[in-house]
Amino acid sequence: MNNTLEVLHLNRGSEIEHSYEAKYIWRIETVEKTRDSFVDQLKGLACFLVVFGHVIMGIRKAGIPTPKSMVFVEEYIWTFHVPLFMFLSGYVYRLTGGWEAKGTRKKFLLHKLFNLGIPYFVFSSIYILINSVTSGVNNSSSISDILMLWRTPVAQYWFLYALFILFVIWSIIPGGGQLLI
């Protein structure tokens, strides 16, 4: 597998010596792109544990007899899976250069708004729409709940909401992202 990434840079003509005709010159630079496979494995494990914990909880809440050992496993999973996700998000934030990698805080936050905000609003809205027209769901909703998504996250989408808030905090405080790691 090729782990290189071609990055295109734009230089304004004023930065180019002896070239008064050229307004722009493009150069291609090869940058080594690496992934931390251990982090990927931990993210996969955390995803599996979230699903497994919800399955156990669903079985239990449906009134199906559940061995005490499974209740213990469920409770144990809840003690660390969210902190693990948050830790991994912070670790990857730091590993990829934090907000500085995007050049400015504004560019970083717009990038995060696009990558976290759009999925949050789209999938939360779909969730609310389905729950508002379906009877007998666990969490009934009203279509007007969509208007409150900016301040009241729904269901499992709270994680995207909280993660975005953490990225905002880390990018606006002085030295954000360098305090603990």
Higher pLDDT, 90 or 5: 90
Which contiguous run of DSSP H or E holds residue 54?
Answer: helix 37-61
pLDDT digits (tens, 9 = 90+) for 34-93: 778 999 999 899 989 989 998 998 898 888 998 999 999 999 999 998 889 889 988 888
In this predicted structure, what is the pLDDT of residue 175?
Answer: 67
> What would the pLDDT profile of 155-178 be if each residue is shown by its tens digit?
889 999 999 998 998 888 876 555
The pLDDT value given to residue 19: 41
Would you state the pLDDT for residue 5?
43
Query: Do the beta carbons of residue 10 and residue 26 sit within 8 Å?
Result: yes
Q: Which is nearest to 177 in space by CA: 78, 88, 99, 83?
A: 99
- pLDDT tens digits for 131-149? 888 877 777 788 999 999 9
Q: Is the pTM higher than 0.85?
A: no
Query: For the chain, what is the radius of gyration of the CA atoms?
Result: 22
Every domain of the chain and the residues it spans: 1-34, 36-96, 97-181
pLDDT above 90 covers a percentage of the chain that reads: 38
